[in-house]
Every structure is written in structure tokens, then in C-alpha cells.
Chains A and B, each alone.
Chain A
Amino acid sequence: MNAQIAAILAMDGIATGAIYVLIGIGFVLIFAVTRVIYVPFGDIAAFTALTLAALETGHVPGTVGLVIGLAVLATLLEVAARLRARRLGGLPRAMLLTLVLPLVPVLAAWLAAGRDLGMAGRVALSLALIMPVAPLLDRIVFRPVADASVLLLLTVAVVLHFGLVGLGLLFFGPEGVRTQPLTDAMFTVGGMNFSVQTLLIVAASIVFSGLLFLFFEFTLAGKALRATAANPTGARLMGIRPATTSTIAYVLASLLAGISGILIAPVTTIFYDSGFLIGLKAFVGAIIGAMASYPLTAAGAIFVGLLESFASFWSSDFKDAIVFGVLIPVLLWRSLGFRESEEETEE
């Protein structure tokens, strides 16, 4: 391997890593607020890519059916819960959130079918379509067990992932897709060509991590999220509703996953089940950040991207085995400073 190959691999690795950064940060965000280790997060990214691809070819994306189904189910659950509690006063507002709002982008997609929206319009519509998925799943799947142990929530999340993969095949079909590049432009540094696309990925990753930081530091909603993460009971006593914070967290994290899906779609062929590996690799980054630190998670995600890039140069067959295998020394390093907290043990 010479310096030039190394540079190309490094650039490639950083671009891949930048995509993992967005998903990894989403993992940390959701875990902090809801204690759910959201394994299906990569699926959200993959579904966004598939949605964008469907819009490009002028089809109605499978997301439409998925969102309609989830919205109807969530609304039914909401109505049933309120009927049982005999509190129908808040029903209109709840229905606005679980039924009307998610169906807005669905309607938009339906109206837009067959028309050319332009690249920006397609990207925006894809993001709008994917955003209700995770919050609706939260309402249907996680809310009934919100107080359960982290391990139970993790089991639910893992099972949910497999369900989503099945739904993905149902709604998007088995074909792999690759979307049009966001840009074909190239630039030259030190006699080597790099695509602007790569640059765009890295830039997007930096911009959206930065925006998230601003949100947490300077908005009341952001502070409410941080308060919930630090002390859920205390936040509750201050009038912060856990259901609201978790919905905000899921919307934000879906946006991050959606953007990473948009960015990865022109670079890699995405299948309905590609999300698992993307998600898990981002996850290795989040574990390097101990599921708590955003900057360390970002650094970890970049490290995983680089590792994958160099591993695929040495042996493309074993690249996935290497990436997951490396988690073990990482965990070992983590465990050196790790103290089992007594609260974690449970009956």
C-alpha cells in the first residue's frame, strides 16, 4: 500500500464514518432520553434511501403504506387507552399527533406521484415521510413498556428490528437501489481526485451535529431533553412529560438517520435489510462513546469508518467480521474503567 492508496482509503473511511456519526449520535440521543437502545435505527436510514429511490423513479414509495399502517394502529391504541381511562378530552389533540400529522407527508407524496420535484424536493419529501415512523413505533411498541428495564427494552428493540426488516421487504421489495448522485463534481488536491459528494457527506455530518448541539444548548425543548436524560423523575416533577420528550427525541434522531440514508444512497447499493449492518457499525461507534458522550461517539464512528475502509482493502470478505471483531478489544478497553452500578441489577 502506498501513500496515495492510503489517502484514498482514509478519505473513503472518513466519508463512511461521517454517515455512522449521524446514526451514532441518534443512538446516544435516544438512549439518553428513553433508555432504549434503538437497534432498528439503521433500518430507518435504509428506508429513507429506498424512499428517495422510489421517488426518483416516479413510484409511490413503500413508506406511504408503512406510515398509514402505523398511524392507524397508533390511533386505535390511543383511542382504546382513552376509552378505558374514560378521558376523551385530549383525544382530538392526540389524533392530530398520531393520525393527521403523519398523514400530511403521505398526502404530499400521493399528490406528487409522477411529477418531477427536483432533487431538493425529493430529499425533503423523503425526510418528511420517514420522520413519523420512529415516533409512531415508539407509541405502539415502547410506550407500554416504558418503565421496564434496559435489558427488556433492548430485547424489544432487537425484535422490532427483525419485524421492520420483514415489513421492509413487504413494502419496498427485494431489489437493491442506488440513487442519483447529489453532485458529479470533482476536485483535486495534491494530484488526487476527490468527489464533492464525499465532501458533502462530511460537511452534512458536521453541520447537523452542530445544529443538534445548538438545539441542546439554546432551546427550551433541548434543555428538557437533557433534563430527562439526566434525571427522568426530576424532569417529570418539573412538568416535563416523558411521552413528549421521547417523541421529540425520536423525531430528531429520525431526521439524523434520514439524512444519513440520503447521503449513503448514492454511494452504496441499499437493500431493504441493509440497515442492520449500517446501524450496528454506527453502534460500535456509540459504544466507544460509552452510549453517553456525543464527541466520543463521533470519534468512534469515524474510527469504525476508517477501519472498515482499510479492512476492505486487505480482505473484503472479512471486512464485516473484522469490524465486529474489533468491538471486543474496544469493549475490553471500556471495561477497564467500567464499574458495575448496583442500579443496573434487577429482578
Chain B
Amino acid sequence: MTARRLRLLGVVAVALFALAPALVSPFSVTLLNFIGIYALVALGIVLLTGVGGMLSFGQAAFVGVAAYATAWATTAHGWSPWLGLILALVLTAAVATVVGSVTLRLGGHFLSLSTIAWGLAIYFLFGNIDALGHFTGISDVPPIAIGALSLGSGAAIFYLIWGVLIAAWLLAANLLDARQGRAIRALRGGRILVESLGIDAFRIKLATFVLAALLSALSGWLQAHMTRFVSPAPFDATAGIFYLLMAMVGGIGALGGAAVGAAIVTLLRNSIQDYLPLVAPGVAGQLEIVVFSVMFILLLQRARTGLVPLALRYLPAAKPAPVVDARPLPRRPQPPRGEPVLRVEALSRRFGGLVAVNQVSFALGAGEILGLIGPNGAGKTTMFNLITGALRADGGRVLFCGTDITRTPQRHIARAGIARTFQHVKLRPAMSALDNVLLGTYARTRAGFVAGALRLDRGEEAQARFEAMRQLRRIGLADRAFDPAGALPLANQRLLEIARALAADPVLLVLDEPAAGLRRLEKEALARLLVALRGEGLTILLVEHDMDFVMGLVDRCVVMDFGAKLCEGVPVEIRRDVRVQEAYLGSVA
């Protein structure tokens, strides 16, 4: 099928869908309404879990907070549902901020477990507060009205629900294609990677968490005013599981998965309720949840990616927007050649009884390439992590352009102008090469979440894309800009990491074994690139194993052995040094 015909088909489908309330039975419209309402929550889960990597079982509790807030405000105090909406959003955001501030610092499964716990705690609160009607709930919630037009009927609220869903979907898609959205997509790469790009990982996590909660809040508000009734039952742990199931059936990694998953689960649930009593009379109620559990487990065992990513494979890929020429991003002034850039003073780090780095000092001037070499276990990588802030030093100091950065958090060091690469390549394999390099520009750009979602950031985005493309061109990967980074060979992935580091416009570039796993020609190309960068005034610190590569490239070497500095000097001296020969080859005697 051609892209054009596909688009035509899409337009027809949307038009038919818009006419649905006139074409199908009122019961079907109600089902569609529920699908839309559930899809909002599932969309939040896709953002939070699928994109951000934070697994939550507790989203139903946020739906509940919003539903109760608006129900209470409109019944007990006679507020308009629109004021109820504001209360619902504000209250949910506040609860999510508090809960998130506490729990998002936890890693992986602890975070997920805590979602079960607070989900239950909030649920029990609903059932036990007098003003919220205990377990019987609140009835006679008024319908939403626009002026004189009441949205009480299924067909009337249909347009509101699906309008809200489509708007939320578009905004989310915009966001993921912008600066902060890329940061969310980078979260699964681990904290070390994210912070090395100058991104505040915790802030991004919290923002994503609140965003998902707000989507749940919209759903709760719509639900309360559509069903005109709230009680604790729809917000319990089972509901949380159903929302997760929807997101996973549809495809946890694709925004479109939310609506598809919500539709499948809702329709399936409906037909199971219809047909199960025929198959197993008397026990149908009990079996429903069993049937769903079995299906969910089979899904997790056999088809974890979900339906939408599967279907997308068979559709023509959307053409990525071309990179256009734009005004270059502002650059930071480089220190004049020879000026001290990095100064390490008596730096030490212990791991238990092992002294990995022991009283090491050296200095690095602007426009210089310094090689940090030494045999296996010499403490090179530890030293590297101390300089970039990934590890804390036990003693000594690190000065960067005259500022003490020994205790500075990693992301601030990155923002100050130290960019790094990783010994084991840390790219986001599913993101395109261009998007990976764009991550490097994070610290040089400013667009926030709102600007990204509303596309107010396009000027800056064009500048960042232009810059990223410039770096890709420089490493010779411009023609593969839109390929997934994971599809590139290892040598190219290492170069891509360097491009990402360069996109941050660093003063000091620190490279952790950039030549590891490269073939001879690739090493030569890498050496030429580094020499060219030095020519532009960049300062480079190189941790490397490969002596031939280092000796032909660097201005000076620092040799480490057993955590201590052995010696330092120009390559010719190092080659002749007896201690170095002993360290590498063992004693001659």
C-alpha cells in the first residue's frame, strides 16, 4: 500500500469515527467513551513506563484522586465541573509531586513496589473518609456543561472525551520529539549516562511522573462526570493492573498503543462478560479476572512489545523532517592555548581495602592531548570517573579552569564543559543517530516541557538539529543520521559518542578507551579526527590501552600502575622509561 493511499484511508477512518455517535447504538457510544477515558490513563503509562522506564501499578489511584476531588467539589459545594477540573488537576499534581519526590529516587523494582503501596494507601483513604461517602461513594455528580449545552448524554460527551484524548496524544508526541522529551527517552539508559549529558535525571523523572498523573486526572474527571457517580472500587489495585494491561497490549513503547490497547481490553472485557456465563454458568464473575490474568501472562511471556509496534513494522515509516540550515548555537569561549584547564591534586579513592587511585596529581593545558595509560587494573577508569563526577573522591582535589569540582555533581561538571564518552558504549539504540547527538545539545538549549509540547521551541530545535548534523558530518555519519543508533557497527557507535560529546561544545573532551574494538583503518580515522579537534583548540584527555594509538597521537602521557602515578612525560621518554617497561612487561631480572 502506498503512503498516499494509506493517508486517504486514515482520513476516511477519522471521518467515520467522528460520525460514530450518529451511526452506532448508544451502548456502543458508551463503550467508545470508556475506551477514550481509559486510553488517557494508558497514555500516561506509555510515557511513564514505556518511554521513561518507571513501572507503576498505582495509576488508578491518581484517577481516583481526581474523580473524588471533582465529585466532592461539585456535589458538596456546588462548584461548576470546570472548577472541579482545576481542583482535580491541582490536587493530583500535588499528590504526585509529593509521592514522586519520595519514591522516584528509588531504583527499578523498589519504585514499582512503592506504587502498589501508595496506590493501596490512597484507595483505603477513599473508603474511610466521611466526606467522601465511605465505600458507598458519592452519587448525583452533575454533568459537564458548556454554556447551556449539557454534556450529559453519551453522544455529547463523546466529542469532549475524544477531543481531550487526541489533544493529549498530539501534545505527548510533540514533547517526545523535543528537548525534554529526548531526555525522557534517555532515562532508560541509566543515571550515569543521563547526568553526563547535563540532564537532571530526578527532575525529568518527576516531571514525567506528574505528567502521567495529570493524564490520569483528566481521565478521572471525565469518568466522574460521565458516570455521575464515584466509589472506591474502580480505583483499586485491580484497576491499576487493567490500565497496565491496556498499555502493554497496545504496545508500551508507542503512543498509539494506548488507544489500541484500551479498545482491545475494554471490548474483550465486555464480550467476556457477555459470553462467559454461557460457557461457565454460575462462576463467570470469578473466572473473568482469571481469564484476564492468563491472557496477560501469555502476553508477557510471548509478545512483550505489544500490537502497535508490531503493526508499525508493516507500515511505511514516516519520513523524518530534513535538517535545514539554521543559525549556529552560541558557543562558549575556549581558554587560550596553554592555559591550565584541568588540574588533579593528590586525588585518592578507595573501594573497601583496595586503593584504586592513590595520591595522583597531573595537569592538562588548553589545546593539549594527554594520554592516561597503564596496565589492566591500574585505576585509569576510576580516575576517569572521579574527574567526570561519576564517583566521589576520598581525598585530593580536581580543579577545572580554576574551579574546584571535586564535590560537584556530575551534571554540573558536564554543564561546566567536560564532555565524556564511555568504555562500554552508552547510546540509546532505538533512537536515531541524530537524536543521540541531539542529546548532547541538551545543556546548550533551554526549551521546557510546555514549549516542547506546544511546538514553541522550533527555532531553537532547528539550531540544535543543525548543530547535531554538523557533528555527524564531521565524523562521517551524516548519511546515516536517521538510522537507529543500535544498527550501526561498533566503530561507528564509538564515533557517535564522540559526536554527542562534541555537540555539548565542551572545553575538555574525556574519552574512555575510544579505540577499543576498532580496526586499524578505523583507528587511523579516529586519530585524524582527534588531531583536527586539537587544532581547533579543544583539550582532550584520553584513557587508552592501545599503545601504538596513544604514542602516535598524544602530546604527553601520564602512566599509572597499581593506583599510583608511575611517571609522566612525552611519548619518547615514556617508551624509554624502565619502570614503564617493567609495569607492562614484568621485570627483566
8 Å CB contact of B114 from A150, A328, A347:
A328
Contact call A334/B300, Cβ cutoff below 8 A: no
Asked if B190 CB lies within 8 Å of chain A CBs, one says: yes
A113-147 with Cβ < 8 A to chain B = 141, 144-145
B282-313 with Cβ < 8 A to chain A = 283, 286-290, 292-294, 296-297, 300-301, 304
Contact call B288/A166, Cβ cutoff below 8 A: yes
Among residues of A, the one whose C-beta sits closest to the C-beta of B107 is A340
In the assembled complex, which residues on chain B have CB atoms less than 8 Å from the CB atom of A344?
Answer: 107-108
In the assembled complex, which residues on chain A have CB atoms less than 8 Å from the CB atom of B289?
Answer: 162-163, 165-166
Stretch at the interface among A15-23, A93-101, A153-161, A198-206: A153-161
In the assembled complex, which residues on chain B have CB atoms less than 8 Å from the CB atom of A332?
Answer: 102
8 Å CB contact of A166 from B105, B286, B297, B430:
B286
In the assembled complex, which residues on chain B have CB atoms less than 8 Å from the CB atom of A175?
Answer: none
Stretch at the interface among A219-227, A231-239, A316-324: A316-324
Contact call B290/A166, Cβ cutoff below 8 A: yes
8 Å CB contact of A150 from B109, B124, B245, B288:
B109
A314 CB, min distance to chain B CBs, angstroms: 13
Q: Which of B57, B102, B117 has the most chain A CB atoms inside 10 A of its CB? A: B117
In the assembled complex, which residues on chain A have CB atoms less than 8 Å from the CB atom of B124?
Answer: 318, 320-321, 324
B511 CB, min distance to chain A CBs, angstroms: 19
Asked if A190 CB lies within 8 Å of chain B CBs, one says: no
B53-75 with Cβ < 8 A to chain A = 53, 55, 57
In the assembled complex, which residues on chain B have CB atoms less than 8 Å from the CB atom of A347?
Answer: 188, 429-430
Asked if A207 CB lies within 8 Å of chain B CBs, one says: no
Interface size on B, residues (CB 8 A): 49
B493 CB, min distance to chain A CBs, angstroms: 15
In angstroms, Cα B113 to Cα A141, docked, is 20
Contact call A155/B106, Cβ cutoff below 8 A: no
Among residues of B, the one whose C-beta sits closest to the C-beta of A173 is B286
Asked if B376 CB lies within 8 Å of chain A CBs, one says: no
Query: Please, what's the 1-or-0 string for B107-141, where 1 marks a CB less than 8 Å from any CB in chain A?
Result: 11110111011101100110010000000000000
Asked if B273 CB lies within 8 Å of chain A CBs, one says: no
Asked if A327 CB lies within 8 Å of chain B CBs, one says: yes
Contact call A324/B106, Cβ cutoff below 8 A: no
In the assembled complex, which residues on chain B have CB atoms less than 8 Å from the CB atom of A328?
Answer: 99, 102-103, 114, 117-118, 121
8 Å CB contact of B296 from A159, A169, A320:
A159
Asked if B156 CB lies within 8 Å of chain A CBs, one says: no
Contact call B293/A345, Cβ cutoff below 8 A: no
Query: Please, what's the 1-or-0 string for A229-264, where 1 marks a CB less than 8 Å from any CB in chain B?
Result: 000000000000000000000000000000000000
In the assembled complex, which residues on chain B have CB atoms less than 8 Å from the CB atom of A345?
Answer: 53, 108, 188-191
Contact call A150/B108, Cβ cutoff below 8 A: yes
Contact call A170/B108, Cβ cutoff below 8 A: no
Asked if B566 CB lies within 8 Å of chain A CBs, one says: no
A1 CB, min distance to chain B CBs, angstroms: 21
Query: Please, what's the 1-or-0 string for B85-116, where 1 marks a CB less than 8 Å from any CB in chain A?
Result: 00000000000000100110111111011101
In the assembled complex, which residues on chain B have CB atoms less than 8 Å from the CB atom of A165?
Answer: 289
Stretch at the interface among A78-86, A103-111, A180-188, A280-288: A280-288
Contact call B241/A159, Cβ cutoff below 8 A: yes
Asked if B244 CB lies within 8 Å of chain A CBs, one says: yes
Asked if A218 CB lies within 8 Å of chain B CBs, one says: no
Contact call A331/B103, Cβ cutoff below 8 A: yes
Known: A321-B125, A328-B103. 8 other contacts (CB 8 A): A144-B301, A155-B55, A158-B116, A167-B290, A280-B117, A317-B128, A328-B114, A344-B107
In the assembled complex, 25 residue pairs joining A and B whose CB atoms fall closer than 8 Å, in A order, are A37-B109, A145-B300, A151-B109, A151-B112, A152-B300, A154-B55, A155-B55, A159-B241, A162-B241, A163-B292, A165-B289, A166-B293, A167-B286, A170-B286, A280-B116, A317-B128, A320-B124, A321-B124, A321-B125, A324-B120, A331-B102, A335-B102, A344-B108, A346-B188, A347-B429
B residues apposed to A, CB below 8 Å: 53, 55, 57, 99, 102-103, 105-110, 112-114, 116-118, 120-121, 124-125, 128, 188-192, 237-238, 241, 244-245, 283, 286-290, 292-294, 296-297, 300-301, 304, 429-430
Query: Closest 4 A-B residue pairs measured CB to CB?
Result: A163-B293, A166-B290, A345-B190, A324-B121
